[in-house]
Copies of this chain bind each other. A is one copy, B any other.
Amino acid sequence: MGANGQITERVFRGDRVAVARAISLIENEHADAVALLKKIYPRTGNAYRIGITGPPGAGKSTISNKLAKYYRKQGKNVGIIAVDPTSPFTGGALLGDRVRMTDVELDQNVFIRSMASRGSLGGLSKKAREAADVLDAAGCEIILMETVGVGQSELDIARAADTTVVVLVPESGDSIQAMKAGLMEIADFFVVNKSDRAGADQAAMSIRTVLGLRKHGEGWMPDVVQTVASEDKGIDIVAEMIGKHRASLESSGELKTKRTERVAERIRDLIAERLRVEFWTAEREQRLAASIKHITEQKETPYDAAEELLKTFKVG
């Protein structure tokens, strides 16, 4: 705890080495990680968290980097967490870090961290949230959380972010496909990137059409922004849209609600994880192995096995 205490203080001062080390402790599930997170937690809540998501190849990294530069110019401290939930079987993206643009990385005030899942499925979004806490406590005012994928990972990002931006390209397919991908549900607004390509206006229009079909309550209405991020075109409009959404969430009280729900979610996750660890003792693992043998011989079903195992975990 001595060294840990030092790290915490250094994180609060925004020390990059300490921040990197703190995130590594979290990533590696080090024994000191929880103590660290407990100390850090009261200093969180100041950063605005922006989720950048969408299908592979849409230019999410470029947009994150350009947005980071934009916010830096405003004098803000920025952090980027690139979540790569995609290589659980081998332990991380093979080329993930190397294909990132490096211009923002040269700026010492932008902290960039890639996180990949290393076999522990489901744990990645938790760790990404905790890494964001570290950046938050270290004084980042803007945290960009970038994820690859269309599916559960987006939902997790949408839950962890204050504003979620979905990045598409003109070729991302017609509106029906976008809806099938469920991106409509989580986007606070859309970006059609690479809008110098053919079909960009039509893509933006068809997304708007589909958005118009949805039932809206009062308040925020998702819209579409067109960008050519590689040429820095439209990044200011993206930032402006984020600002508008933030103002809307703040004035409606929704930001507070969102963040409260996030705390509840986190507590539920912590408890589920602890129960899992407590349940699966070596003895129960042995019983499981025996049950599986019976099940493959068709003498028992998984439902019976689960019930039998649960009987040994009496709660008082």
Contacts and interface: CB of A to CB of B under 8 A. Distances in A.
A180 B263 contact: no
A75 interface: no
Copies, count: 2
Interface in A163-193: 171-174, 176-183, 185-186
A305 to B, nearest CB: 5
A301 B151 contact: no
Nearest to A122: B152
A296 B179 contact: no
A34 interface: yes
Given A90-B185, A95-B179, A185-B89, A271 B267 contact: no
What is the predominant secondary structure among interface residues of chain A facing chain B?
helix
A310 B88 contact: no
A153 interface: yes
Residue of A56, A149, A186, A260 with highest tally of chain B CB at under 10 A: A56
B181 A302 contact: no
A154 B256 CA distance: 33
B309 A176 contact: no
A41 interface: yes
Interface stretch (A64-72, A101-109, A223-231, A275-283): A275-283
Contact of A301 (B41, B178, B181): B41
Interface stretch (A8-16, A79-87, A240-248): A79-87
Given A149-B151, A181-B56, A260 B86 contact: no
Contact of A38 (B88, B121, B291, B304): B304
Interface of A: 34, 37-38, 41-42, 45, 55-57, 84-90, 93-96, 99, 121-122, 148-155, 171-174, 176-183, 185-186, 213, 256, 259-260, 263-264, 266-268, 270-272, 274-276, 278-280, 288, 291-292, 295-296, 298, 301-306, 309-310, 313-316
